[in-house]
Amino acid sequence: MQIGIIGSGRIGGTLAELWARAGHQIAIANSRGPESLKGFVERLGPSAKAMSVEEAARFAEVVVLAAPFRRPEALPPPVSVAGKVVIDAMNPFTETGEIMDLGGKTSSAITAERLPGARLVKAFNTMNSETLRTEGRRSVPKEQRLVIFLAGDDGPAKATVGRLVEEIGFTPIRTGSLARGGRLQEPGSRVFNRPILPAEARRTLKMIG
């Protein structure tokens, strides 16, 4: 699969490494431009390329948003992701690490407004990058793997993201629609930044649902 990753920080860079290792074609981009990523893509090998943000989005079948949420100008043009599966891995933090006041909206709802036509799935925003990098377990049963939560309104899009989650050794657990599930996955929620196995994840979602 061709995956475009917008943002080369801890989450974006980690996902690029994991999916390149799993055999996908990766295009990675950031606001500083492709030249700034030359060394990184060389380490990933021939399956990875550095591109501009718009080029990476157009190249991809699945686009990952791992840029700072507070910088909407870092996102690709809406037309470049229309009709595509877009994974929203962003969290609404200020530059100093505080949770942004979004006026009652969720960050995923705002992202959907910024990218109309995208098949948005909220995922990879509740796990820190070190856990994501080191704790994938492809060799163990799914019930013994840590959970990646995901939310969205498009069933086939969620299925695609679920397969990508499983390929890197985690278990996808759906939290519901983008409106409900997106809120459950926000910073400060009971599932945020909490390594958790599937059985406990289901119990937790049932308690807070």
Question: CA-CA distance, 89 to 192, in Å (whole number)?
Answer: 12
Instruction: Give the single-character DSSP code of 73.
Output: G
Instruction: Supply the DSSP string of 74-110, one letter for each residue.
Output: GSPPHHHHTTSEEEE----B-TTSPBP--TT--HHHH
pLDDT tens digits, one per residue of 151-182 = 999 999 999 999 999 999 999 999 999 999 99
* Nearest in space to 19 (alpha carbons), one of 63, 51, 55: 63
Cβ–Cβ under 8 Å, residues 28 and 11: no
Instruction: Give me the pLDDT at residue 206, please.
Output: 92
pTM for the model: 0.97
Mention every residue, 6+ apart, whose C-beta is less than 8 A from residue 141: none
What DSSP string runs through 22-52? TT-EEEEE-TT-GGGGHHHHHHH-TTEEE--
Bridging pattern class, strands 171-176 and 85-88: unpaired
Query: What pLDDT is stored for residue 208 in this prediction?
Result: 85
pLDDT per residue over 42-101, tens digit each? 999 999 999 999 999 999 999 999 999 999 999 999 999 999 999 999 999 999 999 999
Query: Tokens standing for 48?
Result: 């990875």
Q: CB neighbours (10 Å) of residue 178?
A: 22
pLDDT tens-digit readout, 127-156: 999 999 999 999 999 999 999 999 999 999
% the chain with pLDDT above 90: 99
CATH number for region 2-208: 3.40.50.720
Determine how many CB atoms are found less than 10 A away from the CB of residue 11: 24
Amino acid at 131: T
pLDDT of residue 209: 67
Sheet harboring 85-88: ordered strands across?
Answer: 48-50, 25-29, 2-6, 62-65, 85-88, 119-123, 147-152, 171-176
Task: Look at residues 148, 153, 181, 177 and name the one whose alpha carbon lies nearest to residue 165.
Answer: 148
pLDDT at residue 9 in the model: 95
DSSP 8-class letter at 136? -
